[in-house]
Amino acid sequence: AQRVTQPEKLLSVFKGAPVELKCNYSYSGSPELFWYVQYSRQRLQLLLRHISRESIKGFTADLNKGETSFHLKKPFAQEEDSAMYYCALPGKGGKLIFGQGTELSVKP
């Protein structure tokens, strides 16, 4: 079954520290993975998708098929990065499956 696991509900770091939000997945075949971000009381919005191999707002994520992981990383966290982050992949029938989410808190 397709599944996304984000083991950390809350991650707290200081400004300027490196950040890694973990995401592990279960999927048959080659997955298409996403990270979504939700700033306080706003809509979820796409942060990045693995097939684009892009860096958005300093964040990157590499798909590791051996470890079935898609961790989100940023070398130097900023206070404005504080938000809820969701990892997601497509499920059967065209739906999008989300992990439980990780709340990132960046302290000054």
Partner 1 sequence: DAGVIQSPRHEVTEMGQEVTLRCKPISGHDYLFWYRQTMMRGLELLIYFNNNVPIDDSGMPEDRFSAKMPNASFSTLKIQPSEPRDSAVYFCASRDSGTGYTEAFFGQGTRLTVV
Q: Summarize as ranges the residues that interact with partner 1 (CB under 8 A).
A: 32, 34, 42-46, 49, 86, 90, 93-101
CB of 76 to partner 1, least distance (A): 27
Closer to partner 1 at the Cβ: 63 or 99?
Answer: 99
Q: What is the DSSP letter of 59?
A: B
Q: How far apart are CA 37 and CA 28, in angstroms?
A: 25
Q: Which is nearer to partner 1, 26 or 42 (CB)?
A: 42
Q: Which amino acid is at 64?
A: N
Six-digit token string for 89: 């992949």
Nearer residue to partner 1 within complex by CB, 77 or 101: 101
Give the position of tokens 């939000």: 21
